[in-house]
Amino acid sequence: MREGKGYKQRLVPYGAHLSVLQLVQAWLDTAGIVSGYIFRGVTKGKTGKVLEHPISVRTFERRLLLYGVDGLCINPHDLRRTYAKQQYSNGMDIVAIKDNLGHASIETTQTYIGAMDAEKRVPSQGYRYL
């Protein structure tokens, strides 16, 4: 959890993806990080000393371009939008998505998700009509 724009807390849920936690833990162990920022700068050269301060958004964007996904150029906001769309498609409540992204309004979250088609408005099979 971290603070985002407007000092709102932002949660990054990993769900059943234990491998994500294992990768982050491997980085923390390798870098010797026990507190503070997780994603930090590293000096160039053989020693590759891990710095105390976090990497900048610009550095993060450059890394995404350098190590693109399936040949696509992506940016950090693409990751947020993809998270919102996938979670919504998998049935997560839009209010939970809004809270996880740190949005102040559902309308902002809806712009991340895109058009809500009729298929998503149908109740799950667990409901019975009276």
Tens digits of per-residue pLDDT, 71-127? Answer: 666 666 777 888 888 889 889 999 999 988 888 899 999 998 987 655 555 545 554
DSSP letter for 4, please.
Answer: -
**pLDDT higher than 50, residue 19:** yes
How far is residue 18's CA from residue 57's CA, in Å, rounded to a whole number?
Answer: 26
CA 85 to chain centre: 12
CB of 6 closer than 8 Å to CB of 104 = yes
* H or E element at residue 42: strand 40-42
Q: In the chain, what's the furthest Cα-to-Cα distance?
A: 70
